[in-house]
Amino acid sequence: MRDGIDRLVAAVIAGVAGAALVLQLVLILRNPGSPLALVVRYFSFFTILSNIVVTGVCIAVALGRGWLRSPVARGAAALYIAVTAGIYAALLQGLVHLAGAGVLADDLLHKVVPALYVVAWLACAPHRLLRWTDVLRWLLFPLVYIGWVLLRGAVVHEYPYPFLDLTKSAGGVVAVHCVAMGVLFALLGLVLVAADRFIPARRRH
């Protein structure tokens, strides 16, 4: 019974996140430029990548198979989507004027999906299975992401977020921002592992 509820919740979140991702892709493809360049820009936002991770994890949970339904993967998704929501609320909300479908996609990706997934992770995921060393594994993805953003930016002179924009800030300032992001990921990862160890393990009857 409990597993059935977990799968249903995961399916709903996967549907919401997947719809939001498709909607945002349609919107970005309406901008001027080559479709390939626009698609690359789309995948250069951490918001998109974290929502893709959530979608993949939820699909695996809903189907009941695949490595992405492991506690480590589910915890990683919780970390990435929580950082997405936190940075958006603290630094990015309101910087770009949106209307209509843009507002809907923005709210779904930055608010609705993060809230749904974090609550589902707390309530439905198996707990007391994470290790402190998992935090180091979780840091690999944002590290690779920052490398990609800086490499792409050096070529096309475009950056997805203002705090990583080397055309507007000195290299030292951006480096401080990158370190701060790494610290944020690490600290929040530790909080997630601590929460996982505090929440009682689910019992199967």
Chain position carrying tokens 């698609």: 39
What are the phi and psi torsion angles at 70 (to 5°)?
A: -70, 155
Does residue 110 contact residue 47 with C-beta atoms inside 8 Å? yes
Q: Which residues of the chain have pLDDT under 50?
A: 204-205
Does residue 29 contact residue 38 with C-beta atoms inside 8 Å? yes
pLDDT in the model for residue 205: 38
d(C-alpha 175, C-alpha 162), whole Å: 13
pLDDT in the model for residue 202: 63
pLDDT in the model for residue 30: 94
Taking the whole predicted model, whether its pTM rises above 0.75 is answered as: yes
pLDDT in the model for residue 104: 97
pLDDT in the model for residue 41: 96
Residues in the chain: 205
pLDDT in the model for residue 64: 92
Does residue 109 contact residue 13 with C-beta atoms inside 8 Å? no
CA distances from 43 to 56, 102, 133, 196 (A): 15, 17, 28, 30
